[in-house]
Amino acid sequence: MPLSLDKAGIETRLETLNARLELPWRLEDGKLRKVFEFDNFVSAFGFMTQVALLAERMNHHPEWFNVYRRVEIDLTTHEAGGISERDFELAAEIQRLAQF
């Protein structure tokens, strides 16, 4: 069972995650959030397809919303009732798939 991180734990990990990113992940409404914008719908959906396969491999799944070329991603750990290490692991892997 994953444990939820406290505020300090989240802040430390956010700094590491965002260290080399142009656009950062943020803590919003108790979730790790980032909005990705692509050139077009096909690129956005291609990214979502890769993230879906990744999420299955990791057994950890995003909450997300897509309109046209915009993909909004929220990460939280339902089992933990908050943000856990798993969310940061998934966010880091998502970043490997997106060049932002």
Does position 59 interact with ligand HBI (CB under 6 A)? The reply is yes
Q: Which two tokens stand for residue 83?
A: 């943000």
> What CA–CA distance (Å, rounded) separates 17 from 57?
21
Does position 94 interact with ligand HBI (CB under 6 A)? The reply is no
Instruction: Determine which residue in the list 53, 56, 78, 100 makes contact with ligand HBI, applying CB under 6 A.
Output: 78
Residues annotated as catalytic are 56, 60-61, 78-79, 87
Instruction: Determine which residue in the list 46, 79, 81, 92 makes contact with ligand HBI, applying CB under 6 A.
Output: 79
Q: Which is nearer to ligand HBI, 65 or 68 (CB)?
A: 65
Site for ligand HBI in 25-54 (CB under 6 A): none
Q: Which three-class secondary structure state does DSSP give residue 72?
A: strand
Q: 40: buried, middle or exposed (CB in 10 Å: 19+, 13-18, 0-12)?
A: exposed
Alpha carbon 30 to chain centroid, angstroms: 13
Residues that bind ligand HBI (CB under 6 A): 59-61, 76-79
